[in-house]
Amino acid sequence: MSSAALAIDVEGLKKSFGRAKPAVNGVSLRVRRGEIFGFLGPNGSGKTTTIRLICGLLTPDAGNGRCLGFDLIRESALIKQSVGYMTQKFSLYEDLSVRENLDFVARMYGLPRRMQAVDASLERLGLQGRSRQLAGALSGGWKQRLALAACLIHNPGLLLLDEPTAGVDPKARRDFWDHIHEMASEGVTTLVSTHYMDEAEHCNKLAYIAQGELLAEGTPTDIVAASGLVTWLVTGPDIWSLSRKLSDLRGVVNVAAFGASLHVSGYDEIALKESLDSLVDASFSFERISPGLEDVFITLIKQTGKDALQ
């Protein structure tokens, strides 16, 4: 793949803070232009640090690469001008109006037709009717729209979105992803970290990071296929008690509740089936199913000693 086809092409990125274990330890990523790339991993896994290395806010201790064709180290200032970065926490001014915030961002980027850029950004994200409202008075979903509008005002070639839909309602999440897909159709590349599995399935490719290292990468279908995971669906009475018993059996790597059923997963097909046969009686039913992304990532979380996605 030619470098011109890649929005992100980084190799062996490392970053430590003090004497602590590296926050990022040898991460390599290649993201095509126009692609929606999902970034998943537990709390403290290194996602945010990796994003900040890619956009030039942090300098790597080791490794190299390019973002939008610019060298990560020598041309970090150019990268900052060319990407849109949406942080986990709302970072605009709550005591300024929606329009005033966008005007401030337009000034920061030195846009020549500032008012036209602000008007276009308001229209694109449906913010015209709230342009005079103070940012601090907006709901979580509307703050999210404003933050995205600020990211897009200078027409970046790459969006870096760090947990953009955390804390917003399902409709706001759905609307947000409609905007992401619309931008992808226009050629804008997006790298987005998320802990929602339904959002991960919106992405062209995914990467899973834990303890600063990439553990899985590829399309959602490829990641599931490469996991080697075997999953059984178990239904019946008092599945919670059954869950505790199954967790200690040979071949069982993970037991997860999905509604009123269990997904029982492992890598040793024969051992897993024998354990189910030994414990599950006629009051339960179980069938082999194809594992989903959530089964794969829950298993990875357990194996890395983490208990939540970020």
- DSSP per-residue string spanning 204-226: SEEEEEETTEEEEEE-HHHHHHH
H/E stretch holding 45: none
Question: In this model, does residue 306 exceed pLDDT 50?
Answer: no
* Per-residue pLDDT tens over the stretch 216-270: 999 999 999 999 999 999 988 888 888 888 888 899 999 998 888 999 999 999 9
Which SS3 state, helix, strand or coil, does residue 269 take? Answer: helix
Q: Is the pLDDT of residue 3 over 70?
A: no
Among residues of the chain, what percentage have pLDDT more than 90? 65
Q: How far is CA 195 from the centre of its chain?
A: 6
Q: Which helix (H) or strand (E) holds 288?
A: strand 285-289
When pLDDT is cut at 50, 70 and 90, the band that residue 1 belongs to is: low
How far is CA 103 from its chain centroid?
29
- 70-71, strands of its sheet edge to edge: 24-32, 6-15, 62-67, 70-71
Q: What is the mean pLDDT of the chain?
A: 90
Q: Is 70 helix (H, G, I), strand (E, B) or coil?
A: strand
C-alpha–C-alpha distance, residues 1 and 243, integer Å? 46
Q: Which domains does the chain have, with CATH numbers?
A: 3-218 (3.40.50.300), 230-290 (3.30.70.2070)
pLDDT > 70 fraction of the chain, expressed in percent and rounded? 96
* Closest among 101, 93, 146, 108 to 124, alpha carbons compared: 146
Measure the CA–CA gap between 18 and 217, rounded to whole angstroms. 29
Q: 309, 42 in Cβ contact below 8 A?
A: yes
